[in-house]
Structure 1
Amino acid sequence: MKKRNISPTLSLIILSLILVFTSCKNEAKKTNNKEVAKTAYANDVIPFFDHWKLILGDGSNAGIINNFENKDYFYTTNDGTTNWVVFKSPNGGDTHGTSNNTRTELAQTKKWYPKTANDKLTATLKVMNVSATGDARVAASHSVVVGQIHSADKHENEPLKIFYKKFPGHTKGSVFWHYEINTAGDDNSGRWDYSTAVWGNDFSIVGTEANTSPEEPKEGIELGEAFSYEIEVKNGIMTLKFMSDGHETKTFTKNLIKSEYTTTADIPEQTKNLFVPIGQDGVEREEAYTGEGCFFKLGCYNQTNGKSPEVNKNWCSGAETHDGDIIKQYADGNYAEVWFKTGSISVSDNAVSNEGYFTKND
């Protein structure tokens, strides 16, 4: 067969076409990568924000926050494959209501009553940071609350708080949940929490010295490791489910309308060790949270603060706050940060407006 020669002009045209095609292909690839990395508003990532008002880490109420961001406390990011909603809160700053702790947290706009409830909250998240400082002997140090049920009425106590806690120097942290008694009578100073471990330890495991961490939990969750929770309250019973790849799924139930802590003899040993020595030795009303409007919370409620442990050895961490300067706190790790990937909320027909809670606390 006779070999055909390609003219220099034709070769140049072919080479040019190849270069143009390759360039277009690379440009399309760059564009696609850019689209993957592009972030959006929080309501584009998790479309459920009509049900919430957002409390920011400076104590302000941002209201219903569709198409909203605040680069200090609440925004979206991408981890290379997935968009996440970021909640961030320093150790020190202005707080919401009567709390000693800062929070960037959603609060449900409606409240429901445990006895007639059929309400549910789910979330998938990962904790990215807890405070670098804090007295290790204080149970709340180095922890953050990522989900709650809160009462809107009377004492405004909390039948549920879901914690993540990791000590400095540890790779793994603990996930645990709290039930706070709805204290009998008008004096709420005797209230206390009971803590239940999910993965790792419960709230009561603390260091022996201010800068000495306890033993690292063997079955804990690392920073940046995703886990999910489901909270359902139906006909007075709270059911909790916790899930994470590589960890045992855990389920718990708690009666919210009939107390198991109505006498001094009912106070559990954990409470006797943690709370009774500081005068928090109350008992619960027999009907627990019956008749009180309750609502969900979700986000980053930083449990580490700058108050002296001498005020309260369970809740006052003595951590670094740089006098409320968030730039300095964020620079040296004195903050909590939680990323949420998914979330859903189911609200029963019996739910009513929760505006009274915000009026009292904003």
Structure 2
Amino acid sequence: MNKKIITSVTTFLILASFSILNSCGDSPKKNKETKEVVVEETVYASDVIPFFNDWKLVLGDGSNAGIANNFENKDFFYTENDGAGDWIVFKAPNAGSTHGTSNNTRTELAQIKKWYPKTANDKLTATLKVMNVSATGDARVAASYAVVVGQIHSADAYENEPLKIFYKKFPGHTKGSVFWHYEINTAGDDNSKRWDYSTAVWGNDFSVVGSEENTYPEEPKDGIALGEEFSYEIEVKDGIMNLTFTSEGHDTKTFTKNLIESEYTTTAAIPEQTQKLFVPIGQDGVERKEAYTGEGCFFKLGAYNQTNGKSPEVNKNWCSGAETHGGDIHKQYEDGNYAEVWFKKASIVVSDAAVSNEGYFTKND
């Protein structure tokens, strides 16, 4: 763990005077004994990025830590120094107690106040590096070996997600992919038919999977390695989501998505990627015309592990069949079956129209 070392020096002067007959020329002798007292002082996440009053924290064991000022948990949430500076570590195993009804563990911040896309003027920025993704999983499952590092989540209605930012790297590859998802806000009464559409930033999108359980696709040439820094900026203003991704040595990528007027209101509009991934498993819904209009949304940031131990027979896109050691967190950490993400910078801008949203901990995803 990251500690600051404080050295305090206390000097003790021991003076002994000896009066020796016929030796008046002798001077007093001085002994100086110096003792160093080493005190370890924890560097908290709130010392690295002082913005925690805007968030509450969920840990990788499903517990709610609340506002995380002057807080650490050595299994899930702490700080490290890489020699150049301090970072906040978010860590989540493949399995354990999960939050809500989700299949996946997370150590993740959720914004306390919600805002509305149509009237929003809100922004989240972050600089991070992914340090680990699961060592196991089924390569045919799109979510295997992936972690979500930033989100926009709805707090209302179906509580769907207009944005998830992923990092994914297959075993044996040096470089992984960064991509983002838009999840439709399903029309009608059956939200089980919702689906995601994935867009590549660097490397591949979500749909590029292995041909067999342990057979991997070709490594992306323009991907991001573990430990390689990248940044994202999410701005939502007047119903439009603007995304900017930057990383040294890579092209800057920008994207725009309308959050208040859907382009997926008919079956004919379902993209080819969705036809391939989601329609075969019955997720073939359409989106309501107004998309996320009228729904309160909030940002999320951290490590939302997408790899889990559920059988791919349950859902070939989201159930990874990875090693979980029966939920033993430390055994998973020992053999690489976890997600770990480090953040060194982040900022949030909240519009005046944002309102309190204390109920977000009931969210399923």
Name the TM-score, length of structure 1 as normaliser: 0.89
Give structure 1 regions of 4+ aligned residues with deviation exceeding 3 angstroms.
359-362
- 1:306-341 CA distances to partner (integer Å, 9 max, x unpaired)? 000000000000000001101100000000000000
The answer on whether the counterparts of 1:39 and 1:78 sit within 8 Å (CA) in structure 2 is no
Root mean square deviation of aligned Cα: 2.0
Asked if 1:296 corresponds to 2:304, the answer is no
- 1:248-267 CA distances to partner (integer Å, 9 max, x unpaired)? 00000000000000000000
Aligned to 1:162: 165
- 1:245-286 CA distances to partner (integer Å, 9 max, x unpaired)? 000000000000000000000000000000000000000000
Asked if 1:240 corresponds to 2:234, the answer is no
Q: Tell me: CA distance 1:186–1:108, structure 2 relative to 1, closer, same or farther (3 Å).
A: same
- 1:60-108 CA distances to partner (integer Å, 9 max, x unpaired)? 1100010000000000010012100000000001111221100000000
Tell me the CA shift for residue 231 of structure 1.
0.2
Tell me, what secondary structure is at the counterpart of 2:192? coil
Aligned to 1:327: 330
Tell me the CA shift for residue 356 of structure 1.
2.3
Asked if 1:187 corresponds to 2:186, the answer is no
Number of matched residues? 333
Q: Structure 2: how far apart are the matches of 1:360 and 1:188?
A: 14
Q: How does 1:191-202 map to 2 (within 5 A)?
A: 191-202=194-205
Asked if 1:281 corresponds to 2:284, the answer is yes
Aligned to 1:89: 92
Q: Structure 1: how far apart are the matches of 2:157 and 2:83?
A: 46
Aligned to 1:105: 108
Name the TM-score, length of structure 2 as normaliser: 0.88
Q: Specify which of 210, 216, 219 is matched with residue 219 of structure 2.
A: 216
Tell me the CA shift for residue 38 of structure 1.
7.5
Aligned to 2:23: none
Greater strand fraction, Structure 1 or Structure 2: 2
Q: How does 1:99-138 map to 2 (within 5 A)?
A: 99-138=102-141
Aligned to 2:66: 63
Q: Structure 2: how far apart are the matches of 1:201 and 1:249?
A: 16
The answer on whether the counterparts of 1:39 and 1:77 sit within 8 Å (CA) in structure 2 is no
Identical pairs, percent: 84
Q: Structure 1: how far apart are the matches of 2:111 and 2:323?
A: 31
The answer on whether the counterparts of 2:278 and 2:284 sit within 8 Å (CA) in structure 1 is yes
Q: Structure 2: how far apart are the matches of 1:360 and 1:122?
A: 23
Tell me the CA shift for residue 196 of structure 1.
0.2
Aligned to 1:79: 82
Q: Specify which of 40, 43, 48 is matched with residue 46 of structure 2.
A: 43
Q: Return the letter of the residue paired with 1:118.
A: N
Unpaired stretches in structure 1, ≥5 consecutive residues:
1-23
Q: Structure 2: how far apart are the matches of 1:261 and 1:139?
A: 22
Q: Structure 2: how far apart are the matches of 1:303 and 1:358?
A: 19
Aligned to 1:174: 177
